[in-house]
A and B are shown apart, each in its own frame.
Chain A
Amino acid sequence: MSSADYSSSLLQIAAYIVLLALLCMPLGRYMAAVYEGRFAPEGSVIYKFEGLLYKLCRVVPTREMNWSQYACAMLIFNALGMILVYLLQRAQNLLPFNPEALAAVPADLAFNTAVSFASNTNWQNYGGETTLSYGTQMLALTVQNFLSASTGMAVLVAFIRAFVRQDVQDGYLGNFFVDLCRSVIYILLPLSLALAVFLVGQGCPQTLASYAVYEPLETAALSSGAADGKNQSVESAKVKLALGPVASQVAIKQLGTNGGGFYNVNSSHPLENPTPLSNLVQLLAILLIPAGLCHTFGVMVAQPRQGHVLLLSMTAIFVVALGTCFWAENSGSWQNPAWNLIDGNGLALPANMEGKEVRFGVVNSVLWAVATTAASNGSVNSMHDSMSALGGLVPMFLMQLGEVVFGGVGCGLYGMLVFALITVFIAGLMVGRTPEYLGKKIESFEMKMCSLVILIPPLVVLLGTALAVSLPVGQGAVFNTGPHAFSEILYAFSSAGNNNGSAFGGLSGNSPFYNFSLGTAMFLARYWLAVPVLALAGALVGKKRVPAGNGTMPTDTPLFAALLVGVVLVFGGLTFVPALSLGPVVEHLLMVNSR
C-alpha cells in the first residue's frame, strides 16, 4: 500500500472516530432525558400518546418493579417474542406477504433463528432471501430487532437506577414495560426511520413487490451448465434479483446492534449497503447507541466523567484492536506471498483483499469487522474467514472479551459495568478500603452476581467448542483443514456465546447439531447474564451511597480507565489464550514459518 493510501486509510479511521464521538454525546444526553422522564413529562402532548399505549396494554406506568418482577417481566416478554418468531417461521407458507412462496422453515432452523433474534444475537443459519418471506422478515425479524435491542436498554436503565437511587427499601428499579416502550418510541423508532429513509436514498430497496427478474446481457457467462454444450433455455438463464423491505430492516439491524441482514451476505450485498456513504453511515449506526449510552450513564448518575471513563476504556481497546487488524490485513506480503496480487497496472497490492469487497477496500472492511465485533452487532461487509490469521483473531478476541467494548445496546454497558465492579473490587482493596463504586459498597452478594456474569460466556463458548470438536457432526461441518478449522468452530461459539451473531464462515452451521447447540449458547449467554445483572441491581439499589472522600478510590480518572482495560484484557486473555494459540496464533506462526 502506498503512503498516500495509508494516510487516506488513517484519515478515514480518524474521521470515523471523531464523527462517532461528536454524535454519541448529544444522543446520550437525549436518552438520559428520555429515561428520566424529562423528555416526555406526564401531561405533555407526547406523553399522551405514550400513555395511550400503556392504557391499551393495561400497563400502569407508575407501578415500579423490584428486580425479580423486572426480570420476570423481561423473561416472559422475551419468551413470548421467541415463540411468536418461531411460529411465524413455521407457518410462513400459510401467511401473507410471501410472494416467492417460500416453504415453512424447518423446526431446528426456526428454533435457532427465534433464539437468535430474541437474544439480540442475529446469528444467521438461514439465508435471508432464500428462506424467509417478506412477512417473516418484517413481522418476526424486524420487530424482534426493535424488541431485543430495547430489552437490553431497559435492563441497563434498571441497572443504572441501582446507582442513581439509594436506600430503596422495596428495591424498586422502574417499570420494565415503560423502559422498553420509551426505548422503542423515543430512541429506536425515530433513528431507524431517519436511517431507513437515508438508505432508500442511497439505493436500498424498500418494497413488497416480488423479486425482480432480469435477462442477463451475457447469458453464457452466468450459466454454469453451459459447458455441456446444450442450449440453455431462456427461462433458466434469467436472473432473479431478491428485493423486499430491505432498508427498514437494515436500519434497525445496525442501530440495535442486531446485525441480522436481509440478505444472506449481509452488508456486503450491494442492495443492503449500496455506496461508500451508506457504508460510513451504517458503520456509525453500529456504535452510535452503545457509545451514547455511556454518556447516558454519566448524566443519570450525575457524574458525566464516570461515563467518559467507560467510553474512554472502550475506545482504547477498540483503537488498539483496529490498529492490530489493520496492520495484519495490510502486511500481507510478509505473511503470505500468495497475497501479492498484482493490480491492472502491474503494481503489487500487498494487502489481503481475499473476501473483501473491492468497493470498500481494506480499511472499510477492517473498520467494519472491528466495529461489528466490538459492538455485539455481527453484521459483516467482508468475509472474516478470509482475513489473515491475526486479522481474524482480532474480531474473535473482541467477542471473547464478553462483548463489553461498546457491546450490544444496553447489554454492552452493563457488561462493562460489571467489569468495573470487579476492577473496583481488586483495586479498592489495594487502597485499603472495602470496595465501592459510585458510593455503593461491593460485598459478597455483588461479587457472586458479578462472578456469574463473567463466568457464563466463557463457559458457553469453551464447552460449546469442546463439544463441537469432539463430535463427528461438529468436526464435519468445517470446510478447512489445519488450525483454521479449529478457528472456524471457536469463532462460531464465541459469536453465539456472546450474542454477537457475526459468522466467520467456513462452517456449515445449518445442521441440527449446530442449530441446537448455537441456539442454546445464544439463549444462555443472553438470559443467564441479564438475570444476575438485575439481581445485582436489586442488591445495589437498597444500599446507601457512601460519600466520596480522600480515601475513596476515584473511578473517574484515566488511571481507572487503564485499570479497567487491563482487567478486561487480562480476564479475556487468560481465558482464551490457550484456545487462541491452537487456532489463529499457531496458524499465523505456521504461515510465517512456511514463507
Chain B
Amino acid sequence: MTRDNDLALPRGDRASLAGSRATASSLFQTELLGKAMLESLRKLDPRQQLRNPVMFVVELGSLLTTALYILVCTGYVKESTPWFVLSISIWLWFTVIFSNFAEAMAEGRGKAQAASLRQARKDVAARKVLDNGAAAETGVVGCARFQTVEVSSSALAKGDVVLVEAGHVIPCDGEVVEGMASVDESAITGESAPVIRESGGDRSAVTGGTRVLSDWLLIKITSSPGETFLDRMISMVEGAKRQKTPNEIALNILLTTLTLVFLLVTFTLYPFSVFSVKLAQGGLSGAGAQPITLTVLVALLVCLIPTTIGGLLSAIGIAGMDRLIKANVIAMSGRAVEAAGDVDMLLLDKTGTITLGNRQAAAFLPAPGVSAEQLADAAQLASLSDETPEGRSIVILAKQKFELRERNLQELSAHFVPFSAQTRMSGADLEGRSIRKGAFDAIERHVLSLGAVMPEKVKEDADAVARQGGTPLVVADAGRVLGVVQLKDIVKGGIKERFAELRAMGIKTVMITGDNPLTAAAIAAEAGVDDYLAEATPEDKLALIREAQSGGRLVAMTGDGTNDAPALAQADVAVAMNTGTQAAKEACNMVDLDSSPTKLIAIVEIGKQLLMTRGSLTTFSIANDIAKYFAIIPAAFASTYPVLDKLNVMGLASPESAVLSAVIFNALIILFLLPLALRGVPYRPVGASVLLRDNLLVYGVGGVLAPFIGIKLIDMLLVVFHLV
C-alpha cells in the first residue's frame, strides 16, 4: 500500500496549518459577511432563539425595552428619557444580532463547502448490471460481457451492482467486486492525484460522487441514496444535523443557571429599590429618590447574564467542526470531536505512522574472509532488478558506502531470479555467479542443499540484527555465504519530539505492530513511544482497548483494514482512512480524507482547542460582570443614594452614560471575540497546570480588567459625541 510515508512532518499538521492560514484570510470575506448579516436578522425568530436560553432572555429584554420606548414616547409611562430607552433598546437588539452573526459566520463557512460537495452529489445515470453480474459468460473479455440497464442513481438500492467505466461518476457508495481503476476523489478529499481502487483487500471501497478516470469497476452498492458518505458529510459540514454535544449541554446548564440567578437578582432588586426609596425618604437625602427604572433593570440583567459565551457558544462548536474539516477529517458526530480532546491513549500503527512504510538497508555485515565491499557488491547485484523498497535501499546503501554504481543487468547479461514463495529467495545469475538473498533460514536451506555450511559468525550476526529490531537478509554466492545485510525500520524524523509533546499533554502512546517483541521493543525505544503491542492480532488490539477503557482511559486509534473494524468500533475515537475498507469506515466515528496515519494527533489538538475555547470564554464572560456592577449599581440608585457614586471608580460621566456604556461594551465584546471563537484558543502541549495558570491569567484576570478599560473608553466616546 502506498502512503505518503516519505514526509518528515506529519501530513495532518500541514493540512491544519494550511487550514488555519486559510481561516485567517477568509475570516471576513465580503461575500460570507453579507450572507451572515442577512442570516443574523433571520435568526431573530424567537423559535430559533429558544434553543439558546441566554440569548432568548436578551431578545425578550430587547422587545421589552422597545415596547417601553413606545410607551415612554406616547407618554403612557414615565421613567427615563426616550432617547436613553431607545439607545438601550437598540444596543440590546445589537447584542442579539451580533450573537446571531457569530453563529451565521461559523455556519456560512461550512455552507460554502457543502455547496461544492452537493455538486458532486447530482443525480447521475448509473449502469445497473442485470443479475448482479453473474450471467453473461459470453467469452467476451473485460467489462463488455456484462448486460447493463441505465437507471437513475437515486433509484439504486443496497446490494445492486453497477458498472462504472472511465469518465463516469460513481453513483453511490459501494465496494468494488471486480476490476481495478484509477479514481479521482478530489471532490471529497481535495486531493487532485488519482487513487487506485480494486476489488479485494483494503482498497475496495469507493465513494459516490467520485469519478473513474481509467479502466472500469464493477461496484456493489453498500448504502441507500441519501445515506451515502457524501450525504452525511454534507449534513455535518452544513451543521444542519448539528446536535449539541454532551459537554456543550453541560455548559449550557451552567449558563442557564447563571441566567436564572441573575434574573432572580434583577427581579428582586425592584422591590429592594422601592423599599430603599421609602427608607431614604424617611431620612434626609431622599427627596428626589426614585426606584430603579425598568430600562436599567433590563440593562443590568443583560449585562450580568453570560451573553459573551452564550452568544458565541454555538459558533465555537461549529468552528471546531470546521477546523476538523479544514484538516480534511470528517467527524460523524460532534461527540467524537469532544472525546478527542479527552483522549489519553493513542494506538498507533507502527508502519506508516511511526516508521517509514518499509524497512531499509542499514549495514553490511560480511562473513569471515569476505570484505564488506564484496558483500555490498553482491547484494547490489542481487537487488538491481528488485523493485521492492527494500531492494532499492540495498542498491542505494551500496552506492553510498562503497561508491558502487548501479549496473545494467542487460549489459552484464545477467538473469534476474525473482522472489518465489517456494524458495523464499531472490537474486541474479551472471558471469557464472549465482547470487541469492533471503531470510536466514531460506539461505541456510539453500547452502546446505549445495553441500556447504553456514558460517557461525553469520548466524550470530543474523541473530544480533534480529535482536536489535532489524531484519537480517543473508546473501550467498552459490554455496558461499557472503554475509548479512541489516534491514531496519526507519523511524520518521520529528516523531520522537511529537511523542514527547503527547506525553506532556498526558497522552500515552502505544505502538501496534505485527513484529516480534524484540523488534517492537527496539523500535519503541527509538521512537520514544510509551508502550507497544507486538505480534498484534485484531483480538489483541480489541483486548488492549477494552482493558484501557475499563481503567477509565479514553482510547483513540486509526485503522484502515477490515480486521481493524472491531477495534475501531471499540475505541472512543476511531479514525478510519478514506482509503480504507467500508467495514473500517463504518466502525469509525471520523474519516481522514488524507489517509494520513499521524492525523490523530492533530485531531486531539482540535478537540482540546474546542473545549479550551469554551472554558476560556466562559471565564472571561463571568469575570466581566465585576466591572459592570461598578458601572451600573451606582448609576441605578443615583437618585436614591447619591453617595453610591463613590463606587463609580471608573468616573463615568452620568448614570445614563454608565449604563449605556456597559450595555454597548457587552454587545461589542461578542464581535470582538468572534475571531477568537472561530480560530480557537491556541493549544500548547504543556501540562495541565501550566495551561490552567496561563489561561486563567489571560481570560480570568484579563476578563476582570478589560471591561473597566472598555466601558471607560465607550463612556468617553459617548460624551465626546454628545450621545448622552
List A residues at the B interface (Cβ < 8 Å). Answer: 422, 425-434, 439, 442-444, 446-448, 450-451, 454-455, 458-459, 462-463, 465-467, 469-470, 475, 481-483, 485-486, 544-547, 549-554, 557, 559, 563, 566, 570, 573-575, 577-579, 581-582, 585-586, 589-590, 593
Contact = CB atoms under 8 A, between A and B. Distances in A.
Contacts of A482: 279-280, 282-283
Contacts of B275: 469-470, 475, 486
Given A429-B616, A482-B282, A590-B643, 15 more contacts: A427-B615, A430-B616, A433-B688, A434-B338, A455-B257, A459-B264, A546-B553, A547-B551, A549-B508, A574-B304, A578-B629, A579-B269, A581-B637, A581-B644, A582-B637
B272 A486 contact: yes
B341 A559 contact: no
B616 A553 contact: no
Interface string B250-284: 11011011001110111111011111101110110
Nearest to A474: B275
Contacts of A582: 272-273, 276, 637, 640-641
B629 A577 contact: yes
Given A429-B615, A430-B612, A444-B250, A481 B338 contact: no
Given A448-B253, A553-B689, A581-B633, A428 B272 contact: no
Given A431-B695, A553-B688, A589 B637 contact: no
A589 B646 contact: yes
Interface stretch (B24-32, B54-62, B186-194, B618-626): B618-626
Contact of A550 (B341, B506, B629): B506
A429 B264 contact: no
A52 B118 CA distance: 77
Contacts of A446: 250
Output the residue of B273, B285, B696 with the most chain A CB within 10 A.
B696
B611 A550 contact: no
A550 B503 contact: yes
A519 B275 CA distance: 23
B377 interface: no
Given A475-B275, A482-B279, A426 B618 contact: yes
Contacts of B640: 582
Contact of A430 (B265, B282, B551, B696): B696
10 contacts: A430-B699, A432-B607, A444-B253, A451-B257, A486-B272, A549-B344, A559-B696, A578-B265, A578-B266, A586-B643
Output the residue of B250, B271, B618, B625 with the most chain A CB within 10 A.
B250
Contacts of B264: 458-459, 462-463
Contact of B271 (A470, A546, A593): A470
B128 interface: no
Which range contains the number of B residues in contact with the other chain? 35 or more
B625 A431 contact: no
A430 B268 contact: no
Nearest to A429: B615
The main secondary structure of chain A at its interface with chain B is: helix
Contacts of B615: 426-432
B508 A570 contact: no
A448 B246 CA distance: 13
B15 to A, nearest CB: 20
Nearest to A464: B268
A590 B696 contact: no
B254 A422 contact: yes
A434 B342 contact: yes
B272 A579 contact: yes
A550 B686 CA distance: 9
A486 to B, nearest CB: 6
Interface in B585-621: 607-609, 611-612, 614-616, 618-619
A455 B261 contact: yes
Nearest to A459: B264
A434 B695 CA distance: 16
B25 to A, nearest CB: 26
Interface in B656-709: 683, 687-689, 691-693, 695-696, 699-700
A448 B607 CA distance: 24
Contacts of A467: 271
B271 A429 contact: no
